[in-house]
Amino acid sequence: MIRVNGLTKIFSSGLKAINQLDLEVRKGEILALLGPNGAGKTTTIRVLSTLSGFDEGEVVVAGHNVDVEPEKVRCKIGLVAQQTGVDYFLTGRENLELQGRLYRMPKQEIVKRIEELGEYFELGDALDRTVMTYSGGMRRKLDIATALIHKPEIVFLDEPTLGLDIKSRQSLWQYIRKLNKEQGLTILLTTHYLEEADQLSDRVAIIANGQIRVIDDPETLKNDIHGDSVILTFDTDGPEVGDFTYALHDDPDIKDIVWDNDNIHLYVDDGSKAVPKFVALATEKGVGIKTLQLAHPTLDDVFLKYTGTTLEDSGEEEGEEWWHQWAGKGGGNGKWEKNWQKWQDQLDETGTEEQKSSWAEHAQQWQQGGDNKQEATPPQQQSKEQQGTDWQAENKNK
């Protein structure tokens, strides 16, 4: 369903975001794309979904070359981006209808499809409520529903459960599994939740520096690590630690040694037999072991092996922009509901970094202000006298 050969994408800054990437996604499978922040996951999704051009290579999606037939590709795919694409001030039904019209679907087909998707995702009466009243999990379900309105063959899910609590995340996993098994959808998802990749994917591809480092099913990847994982941290960072780790290289039972910040990961066939040796060697070298963990290899060990870092330390961030979080709480003040975007646009166009920071601070205070929301008036809602002449002076020559 997806075939990528020698894909290269270079930004105007000179950064090579994707570097001769080769990838194949089979029909009807779920493939999880794992990688550190900045590894090229989202850029790859953007290229495959025709949202971004590229410099070299060939990309074929659903039988169509994205460089030659982008319109045909778009008719065959659905995309759920990291940040929700639904309109917070429309109802769920209005969002779905808008998406159907963008695909030029017949009106009766749109109506029928909305009912099908509303029932499938258990949105019920929520379809006729504004999206700002939805929980995070409901918004994400609506987001996926909009991507499915035209019955695509392939769906791209870019961090589909980012920022959701574990209950909402697991609930969404069930829908993703059902879409794959019952409707035969081919799904390419990016995620930084290892459990998500382990639970959902038929295969996992690990990307780093714009290249696929390894691709296989999760169990095979974990089994390739072999044996057990022993993780040690020390109560000192003196030269004795170097002596200890140097001596470890002479141990024939150690299959691999990987450093992760202050942790050392030792991969052995039998951890229960190896641990006493490691403790004795540490004592001999005068090294105090602060913590010791023994476990079977996980996808995090696989990730560490091929990227040099754990996914937890790879710089991924959770959450949404503050205004998404605010809107999700119902909006409150009607003026905010009407004017927040106008204020934001004004700042983006002419505001200084200090003013933008002040705006975000005031917005957060408003969100958390309880009964004292009036004390958190946004800068753009202040009088001209309050704003003073600084704004005019700073923007005089802009």
What is the predicted pLDDT for the residue at 313?
54
Q: Does the 2-220 domain belong in CATH 3.30.70.260? A: no
Q: Could you state, in order of their start, the residue ranges of all structural domains in the chain?
A: 2-220, 227-296, 343-395
| Helices (runs of H) and strands (runs of E) counted in the chain | 16, 14
What are the φ/ψ torsions at residue 17 (nearest 5 degrees)? Answer: -70, -35
Total-model pTM: 0.72
Q: What is the 3-state secondary structure (H, E, C) of 153-207?
A: CEEEEECCCCCCCHHHHHHHHHHHHHHHHHHCCEEEEECCCHHHHHHHCCEEEEE
Q: What 3-state class would DSSP assign to 94?
A: helix
Q: What 3-state class would DSSP assign to 69?
A: coil
What is the predicted pLDDT for the residue at 192?
79
Q: What is the mean pLDDT of each run of 10 residues along the chain (398 residues)?
A: 96 93 96 90 94 95 95 95 86 96 95 95 92 90 95 94 85 92 93 88 94 94 85 88 88 86 87 90 91 88 84 51 44 49 62 62 49 41 42 43
What is the predicted pLDDT for the residue at 152?
95
Tell me the CA end-to-end span of the chain in Å, nearest whole number: 49
DSSP state, residue 127: G
What is the predicted pLDDT for the residue at 361?
57
Q: Which helix (H) or strand (E) holds 381?
A: none
What is the predicted pLDDT for the residue at 357?
62
Tokens 């927040």 correspond to what residue?
340
What is the predicted pLDDT for the residue at 124?
87
Q: Which fold has domain 227-296?
A: Alpha-Beta Plaits (3.30.70)
Q: In terms of Cα–Cα distance, which of 155, 157, 209, 307 is closest to 8?
A: 209
- Please check whether residue 347 is in contact with residue 378, taking contact to mean a CB–CB distance below 8 angstroms: no
What is the predicted pLDDT for the residue at 349?
66
